[in-house]
Every structure is written in structure tokens, then in C-alpha cells.
Amino acid sequence: MKEHLNYAPTPPMGWNSWDCYGATVREDEVKAHADFMADHLLKFGWEYVVVDIQWSEPEAVSTRYNDFFPLHMDEYSRLIPAENRFPSAVDGVGFKALGDYIHAKGLKFGIHIMRGIPRQAVHQNTAIKGTEKRARDIALNNICPWNSDMYGVNVDVPEGQLYYDSLIELYASWGVDFIKVDDIADSKLYHDAHKKEIVAISQAIQKVGRPMILSLSPGPAHLKNGTFFQDHANMWRLTDDFWDHWDALYNMFDRTAEWASFVRPGNWPDCDMLPLGHIGLRAVDGGGGDNWTRFTKDEQYLLMSLWTIFGSPLMFGGTLPDIDDFTLSLLTNESVLQMYREVVERRQVYRDDEWVVWQGYSENDEYVAIFNVSDKDSVVPEEVKKLVEGTALLDLWHGKMFELEDEWEVASHGVLLGKL
């Protein structure tokens, strides 16, 4: 197995700036979230702090991009942080200082990048590190349809690989532990993964030696590429951006059922971020505005149960400093997190229009999640109940026992997540 797949023996857990701040997060906000995570969440396994898209764009205002605007770039055609937003990036140190701050707290540091080379580099024909060739020589006439920053890189020529190597070296020098590469797992325009560039980035990470999680966006990744993703990445997105409405959540039952066979240590197919708590401060894509999640509490239990029994990475999207007790309880339930860490085999075992059932097996325990996907509170029917191979369930969210002879009521859009 490729070395870098070992960097994620259990699914990554962390916070990402997108759901709150879109393309606009600032250094002080990142630090505030790192502080809270170190103080309250690290002991539960939460450790990655990830700066999402367009940290090179000084004028970013929301989740909408300013097309064709100039970005901060170094002499080798590599994007660097915009200093007006990340003051510690002065004097060409890039994200080194912010990385140090995060590491000092026992946490890990992640960044987002777009596949490719900046278009401004190509049209200015700037230099590439380690070669006489220049930006124009390694660029391809392909684009991301929803962001105008980059062209694709031609990795069929050695200088294309060299460019990606130079990027990963720079990130390693900053202390980056996690790289979320966007416009690569499923191109909305070319309708497939950009596989050659995935291989190039994967190889660059192997070469550089520093443990760095490789996370691929956006989804939906295509199932036919499943074994390819397993060989080259730690995470890959199963959906387009996930926001807080039931249709999107319900759709994840399809995605997770299809991908269950691909979950294993080193490979954690990604259900996307948790749009819970306080979100939308400067992100506008979700449609909910600057507000608390539109999911009901039952839907939040359901979401957390599906993500954890499936084995998705958990990237919290809400604000941390002002998190409320209920949301915090979702992130810190020891029984659920134990299941999450220990399950080695999981599977959707039943589905009809009203009920979905998953089973998960760890070395010592068996878990079952009974999801009520209908629009009314209902009692679990006999044919579903008989899938439970035992006499009682311990409800992991509420600590209550459910005996087989009882009626098991599950709320609409809710879940009974139980341990046998």
C-alpha cells in the first residue's frame, strides 16, 4: 500500500472554514477556532484546522468569487496567502507562522488548493521552479467551471510533475498536514476525475515524506473510480457541496450505500462537512444566511449517525467559539465516537420508502442504525426489527435500552442508533 495512505488510520476529524466564511476567512478567525478546538475538542479526536478556498485573494467577499481578479503569487507561479487577510504571512513566510501556531496547540493544519496553475501565471508566462520552462509550457486549456483562478497542468511532461512537486514542497515547508484539492475528484465540466493530476499530487506527497492527508473535492465522485481513489487518496467527496436541507441529507443514503465497500483504514469516502450549529456568517451558498442550522435536532442525530457508522471524515462547519450545548453534544458523544473509530465493516442492510437500516461491526461489538426517513413519527415495523440479531439495543445518543418486546418509536427524520 502506498505510504501516504497510512497517514489516516482512522477517519480525519476537524474544522473547516467554508460553511462559515466561504472564501473569506481571516487569520484571527482561524486562530480562534484552533483555540477552542485545542481546549474542548482535541481530547475527543478533533484535530484538523483547515483554511478553505482562495486564501490568495485579497478581495474575497463571500462564497461567490471575483472572476479574473489578481491573486497573490510567488516568483515560481505558486499562490501564497493574501497578507491583508493573513498578516503573519509577511516577508514571504506564507502559512508557516499560522501552521506553527496551530501545531503549538497539539493540532494539525490543513489548507485548500485548486487543481492547476494560476491563469495569471500562464498569461504572464512566469517561471517554474527547477526548470527553464515557463507557465505557458505546462498549462492545459482546461478549466474549473465555477472558479476562474486556474488552468490544468500537463503532467505528461516532466515539468508538469515538477510544478506539483514544487507546490507540495512549499506546503511541507509551511507545516501543512492536510491538503484539500478542489476541482479534481469530479469536474463539473469534464464529468470525470482529473486522474493524471491526482496521481501527480499523490506522488508529490509520497516524495516529500511529510505526512499529509490528501482530500479530493468536489463530488459526486464516480463509483467506477473507487479503486483508483483508494490507491491515491485518503478522502474523496461523495456529493457536491452539502448544506442543511433534508433533500441533500436524504440523498446521502444512496451515496453511502453504494460506497460502503470502499471504506477502510487509509480510505475514508467523504460525506462532506457538517453544516451544524452557527453557519453562513459570510458564506451564501447554503441559502440559509447567517443563522443556525436548518436541520431539526432529529435530523442532526440522523446525520451524525449516518456519517459515523459509515466512516466518513467529520469536518465541522459551524463556528466553534459560540457553539451551543446541543451541537457540542453531537461532537462529543463518547459512545458514538467509539463506534466511529472501531467499526471495521458496515453496510446498508434494508431500505424501503420509510426505513433505512445500517449495521456496523467492530471487533467486539455490533451496531445498528434504524433511520426513519418518512415524514411521520413511526414505530419500527416487525420486518425491520427482525434484522436486529439480539434481544435489546442500547440507544447511543440517549443511553436508553430498547427491549425487543417493546414498541420502538423513531421520530420522523430521526434515528435509533443502537449497540447490541
* Positions in the binding site for a copy of itself (CB under 8 A): 67-69, 119-120, 122-125, 136, 139-143, 145-148, 189, 223-224, 226-228, 230-231, 257-258, 260-262, 347-349
Q: Measured between alpha carbons, how far is 122 from 112 in angstroms, rounded to an integer? A: 21
User: Residue 142 to residues 145, 149, 151, 332: CA-CA distances in angstroms?
Assistant: 9, 12, 6, 43
Nearer to a copy of itself among residue 358 and residue 402 (C-beta): 358
Cβ-based neighbour number of residue 298 at 10 Å = 16
Side-chain half-sphere CA neighbours of 155 within 13 A: 20
Nearer to a copy of itself, 4 or 108 (CB): 4
Q: How far is the CB of 125 from a copy of itself (least distance, A)?
A: 8
Closest distance to a copy of itself from the beta carbon of 245 (Å): 22
Asked if residues 343 and 360 have their Cβ atoms less than 8 Å apart, the reply is yes
Minimum CB distance to a copy of itself, residue 199 (Å): 10
Q: In terms of DSSP H, where are the helices of 311-364?
A: 325-331, 334-342
Spatial contact of 183 and 114, defined as CB atoms under 8 Å apart: yes
Shortest Cβ distance from residue 68 to a copy of itself (Å)?
5
Residue 139 vs 337, nearer CB to a copy of itself: 139
User: With respect to a copy of itself, which residue has the nearer C-beta, 69 or 292?
Assistant: 69
Output 259 or 402, the one with its CB closest to a copy of itself: 259
State the minimum distance, in angstroms, from the CB of residue 87 to a copy of itself: 28
Q: Report, in Å, the least distance between residue 223 CB and a copy of itself.
A: 5
CB of 347 to a copy of itself, least distance (A): 7
Residue closer to a copy of itself by CB (options 139, 304) is 139
Q: How many CA atoms lie within 13 A of 50 on its CB side?
A: 32
Residues making up the chain, counted from first to last: 420
* Shortest separation between residue 358's beta carbon and a copy of itself, angstroms: 11
Task: Return the number of other C-beta atoms located less than 10 Å from residue 9's C-beta.
Answer: 9
Closer CB to a copy of itself, 68 or 363, in the complex:
68
Alpha-helical segments (H) within 15-157: 18-21, 27-36, 96-104, 119-124, 135-138
Q: How many CA atoms lie within 13 A of 373 on its CB side?
A: 21
* Spatial CB neighbours of 389, under 8 Å, sequence gap ≥ 6: 366, 420
237: region left, alpha or beta (phi > 0 left; psi from -120 to 50 alpha): beta
At 328, list the grid cell.
Answer: 457540542
Shortest separation between residue 419's beta carbon and a copy of itself, angstroms: 19
**Closer residue to a copy of itself, CB minimum distance, 106 or 390:** 390
Q: Which is nearer to a copy of itself, 47 or 183 (CB)?
A: 183
359, 71 contact by CB (below 8 A): no
